[in-house]
């Protein structure tokens, strides 16, 4: 699973960049308000390709079995 983690003052979220439908999906979140989580997911959708490129640069090929 290709995930990014986001940590904010009071909480954190894990987001799978390649969910079952090919887009990002929230794996887990703790201490983040729903409105902030929606905003975060929208930003991840917007920057998803960049995050996947960085994932590949750091970790190697993304796991695309979920797609």
Q: What is the pTM of this model?
A: 0.72
Residue 15 lies in a domain: yes
Residue 7's DSSP bridge partners are 12
Residue 5's DSSP bridge partners are 14
Domain that holds residue 15: 3-57
Residue 67 lies in a domain: no
The answer, yes or no, to whether residue 44 has pLDDT greater than 90, is yes
- Per the CB < 8 A criterion, the answer to whether 33 and 51 are in contact is no
Residue 23 lies in a domain: yes
Residue 64 lies in a domain: no
Number of domains in the chain: 1
Residue 66 lies in a domain: no
DSSP summary character for residue 21:
T
pLDDT by residue (tens digit) across 30-40? Answer: 988 899 899 99
Residue 62 lies in a domain: no
What is the Cα gyration radius of the chain?
A: 12
């Amino acid at each position: 699973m290709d995930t990014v983690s986001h940590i904010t003052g009071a909480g954190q979220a894990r987001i799978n960049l390649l969910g079952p439908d090919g887009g990002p999906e929230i794996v887990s979140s703790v201490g983040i308000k729903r409105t902030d989580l929606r905003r975060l997911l929208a930003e991840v959708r917007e920057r998803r390709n960049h995050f996947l490129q960085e994932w590949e640069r750091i970790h190697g090929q993304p796991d695309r079995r979920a797609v």
